[in-house]
């Protein structure tokens, strides 16, 4: 059975979709910064391991930032559920 959504829920879902699309646009258009480059190329901690999960999959900035984007979406889901 389908759940009925009120206008507040619909506006929230619209906000989430616009937010996700804008973050994806930022990920794809902005180059990595100096701190991100240091983590990606020279450190060996947990951030280095996480940032190399999708290394070579897309051949752009999405390789480095996708795991953190997924963590952000998961955080939004857990926070609002």
Q: Is 1 domain-assigned?
A: no
Cα 11 from Cα 55, distance rounded (Å): 35
Model confidence pLDDT, tens digit, residues 22-52: 999 998 899 888 988 888 888 888 888 888 8
Task: Check residue 1 and give its pLDDT.
Answer: 65
Model confidence pLDDT, tens digit, residues 48-68: 888 888 888 888 888 888 888
Q: Is 59 domain-assigned?
A: yes
Cα 73 from Cα 78, distance rounded (Å): 9
Query: Which residue do the tokens 């290394």 mark?
Result: 55
- Say what percent of the chain tops pLDDT 90: 27
Task: Check residue 79 and give its pLDDT.
Answer: 87
Q: Is 2 domain-assigned?
A: no
The model's pTM: 0.74
Question: What tokens does 53 get?
Answer: 């999960």
Domain count across the chain: 1
Total H helices, total E strands in the chain: 4, 0
Domain extent, residue 38, equals: 7-80
């Amino acid at each position: 059975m389908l759940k009925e959504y009120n206008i507040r829920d619909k506006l929230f879902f619209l906000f989430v979709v616009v937010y996700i699309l804008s973050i994806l646009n930022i990920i794809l258009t902005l180059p990595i910064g100096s701190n991100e480059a240091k983590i990606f190329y020279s450190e060996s901690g947990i951030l280095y391991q996480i940032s190399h999960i999708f290394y070579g999959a897309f051949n752009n900035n999405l390789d480095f930032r996708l795991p953190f984007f997924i963590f952000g979406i998961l955080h939004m889901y857990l926070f609002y559920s």
